[in-house]
Copies of this chain bind each other. A is one copy, B any other.
Amino acid sequence: MQSIELRPPYLILIGDDDDPTYAKTGFGIVHWRRDSVAGQLRFDGCPLDLGVPDMTVAQAAAAGVRTLVIGVAPIGGVVPDAWWEVIVEAAAAGLDIACGLHLRLADVPEVRDAAARSGARLIDVRVPPAGIPVGTGRKRSGKRLLTVGTDCAVGKKYSALAIHKALEDAGRKATFRATGQTGIMLAGSGIPIDAVVADFVSGAAEMLSPDNDGDHWDVIEGQGSLFHPGYAAVSLGLLHGSQPDAIVVCHDATRSEIAGWPGYEPPSIPECSERNILLGKLTNPNIRCVGVCVNTSALDDQARSDYLSAIRHATGLPCLDPVIDGCDAIVGGLG
């Protein structure tokens, strides 16, 4: 498959960040892919701790680490010099460098030269692979589930990861398919679908979930929303190329406006489900909605229970908060 591929085990660079929200990629990798993580690299005095062994670049190289993952966003957006020193050291030691920042690693001469000498790969997870074809619409073997959203940032990535975990826990064959830079860092592979040229979005989604065993589920991270005035094109191309047999609608219980787009309301959950089914039928006539995932972190227990019950009643589907409840109820209903 043509996609970005990270080679484990990883050393995760945390540097000296002190705000956990800036290190969410690092924490996420440890949470979802603990087996891929050999250690963390922290500078003196760094208060954050991913709960994995501290390592220098030299220790990591000696221990067989293959990739330095930049697991943080620099506060203020500028990568500090101390980080560059470590990145160059790792590249010189032959470690691949995986980076989700907006810069391009190869644009930094010291990094580029060190990697060229050692043979290390520079992996910008925001840059799609080359040679993505136009979508064919050809039906592929295997099963696919796509998380879709009423808006951006409503838990589509988390829900897909949790559904994948529930499938694996149930002994089912499943693969998480990442479509955004954080998801790619967590999964170790994927395609940043929103960075693909528009003509090739559905083709990229087709490439991301190739033919598979009849009882295998690809669980595909959704992007944007069909109801988003800026990003609906990405969502539609991903829907068409993914050809999902099943969709799960993701929502944030407190979202009353498309975040950052004043005047635009998110759809109701049934409306979101119906619209995705209507448009998804183009490439998979058997598409159906199998559940609803809601971020209820802002609700108290009673409000949360009432909210989920009401949606369960309105849709007749499993409705849950994946962080609190897990996704067994959804996975149990899959064919």
Interface set of A (CB-CB < 8 Å, partner B) = 134-137, 193-199, 201-203, 226-227, 229-234, 236-237, 240, 261, 263-264, 279, 282-283
Contacts and interface: CB of A to CB of B under 8 A. Distances in A.
A193 B203 CA distance: 17
A199 to B, nearest CB: 4
Contact of A135 (B137, B229, B240): B229
Contact of A232 (B196, B229, B237, B264): B237
B202 A195 contact: no
Contacts of A261: 136-137
A199 B195 contact: yes
How many copies are assembled?
2
A264 B198 CA distance: 21
A229 B136 contact: yes
A159 B102 CA distance: 41
Given A236-B232, A236-B233, A193 B202 contact: no
A203 B228 CA distance: 12
Nearest to A237: B233
Nearest to A205: B233
A17 B72 CA distance: 57
B198 A194 contact: yes
